[in-house]
Amino acid sequence: MKIAVASGKGGTGKTTLATNLAAFLSERRRVVLIDLDVEEPNSGLFIKGQILKKEDKYKMIPEWSGECSLCGICQDVCEFHAVLRLGTQIMVFPELCHSCYACSELCPESALPMVPKKMGSIKQIQTDGFAFVESRLDIGEEQAVPLIAQTHKYIEANLKDEEIRIYDSPPGTSCPVIEATKTADFVILVTEPTPFGLHDLSLAVETMRELKKDFGVVINRFDLGNDDVPDYCEKEGIPVLARIPNDRHIAELYSQGKLIYKHVPQVETQLQAIEQFLEEKLNGGRS
């Protein structure tokens, strides 16, 4: 079962839930946790283990050879303005390139061969209970989607036999979130009971419905704010899987890089509720 943990906004507790849920479920199942928030991965702050493998990842971009008639076809076919004819030269902007190969394939003089450019890395760590994979985009790289896509391929090639995959997804509702959640069987949307939390949750709900994903909501810092989020979920027919309390002790454990459920019984109880819900989903899918 592939479970994506996502959120309409940052700072709702997405990583807190993903790491604790992975560790909790690994006590009974084979689990792999994948940090797909490649622009700012921080699941590793809470995961201790041995690095088994590290791979640099590349994307293909065009490189101008200087031998062409400056016909401008490359500039015309580039939808992302990554190739520009300027005077007597062709300029390539790697940060804008989406590796579509159009400029390279359509160049009459074959003056734009595609070459690899490092965009980030993937690291696999084995903890005492489960596998953990972290993808990290290099500083200055602007596109997260290619690295997320390569991370999915890495998991299929190296960890496809794990029983449960938990994706710590990027925040928001943009392209990286779409790429991170597109293969998920179920999406857990983490929110908080505040006006900002409700607004961004509604955007995330619209996105998941557009993607035709099955999803539920976890309300973090539940005692904070008002009942607008639970009321919204009830009105929209969205299951609330868990309610995590607003507890100073949780914040202290988080700041120390510790898993929470082992120290806060209320959190473990909420993880049990999520596990029961997922069990019903898993068994329902099999039947």
- pLDDT tens digit string along 194-210? 999 999 999 999 999 99
Q: In whole angstroms, what is the distance from residue 57 CA to residue 42 CA? A: 19
Amino acid 67: pLDDT: 86
Q: Give tens-digit pLDDT for 67-98.
A: 899 999 999 999 999 999 998 999 999 989 99
> Any alpha helices (H) in 121-172, and if so which ranges?
145-158
Long-range contacts of 273-276 (CB under 8 A, 24+ apart): 273/241, 273/242, 274/21, 274/188, 274/218, 274/241, 274/242, 275/24, 275/25
Question: pTM above the 0.85 mark?
Answer: yes
CB 277 within 8 A of CB 185: no
* Share above pLDDT 70 across residues of the chain, in percent, rounded to a whole number: 99
Is residue 287 very low, low, confident or very high in pLDDT (cuts 50, 70, 90)?
Answer: very low
Angle between helices 195-210 and 228-236 (to 10 degrees): 20
Q: Is the pLDDT of residue 151 over 90?
A: yes
Q: In whole angstroms, what is the distance from residue 181 CA to residue 187 CA? A: 7
- As a whole number, mean pLDDT of residues 45-61 equals 94
Could you check whether 2-58+119-285 and 64-112 share the same CATH topology?
A: no
* Share above pLDDT 90 across residues of the chain, in percent, rounded to a whole number: 86
From 134-143, 202-211, 276-285, the region with the lowest mean pLDDT = 276-285
Cα distances from 88 to residues 66, 111, 114, in angstroms, run 9, 14, 21
Is residue 265 very low, low, confident or very high in pLDDT (cuts 50, 70, 90)?
Answer: very high
Q: Is the pLDDT of residue 11 over 90?
A: no
Both tokens assigned to 179: 């790429």
Class level of CATH domain 64-112? alpha beta
- As a whole number, mean pLDDT of residues 32-45 equals 95
Q: In whole angstroms, what is the distance from residue 9 CA to residue 1 CA? A: 25
Amino acid 285: pLDDT: 54
Q: Give tens-digit pLDDT for 222-260.
A: 988 788 999 999 999 999 999 999 889 999 999 999 999
Domain limits, the chain: 2-58+119-285, 64-112
Please list, in sequence order, all residues whose beta carbon lies within 8 angstroms of the beta carbon of residue 103, skipping any fewer than 6 positions away.
62, 73, 74, 75, 77, 78, 82, 83, 112
Backbone angles phi, psi at 180, to 5 degrees: -70, -35
- Partners of 168 in the β-ladder: 5, 35
Q: Is the pLDDT of residue 132 over 90?
A: yes
Q: In whole angstroms, what is the distance from residue 246 CA to residue 170 CA? A: 23
Q: What CATH code would you report for 2-58+119-285? A: 3.40.50.300
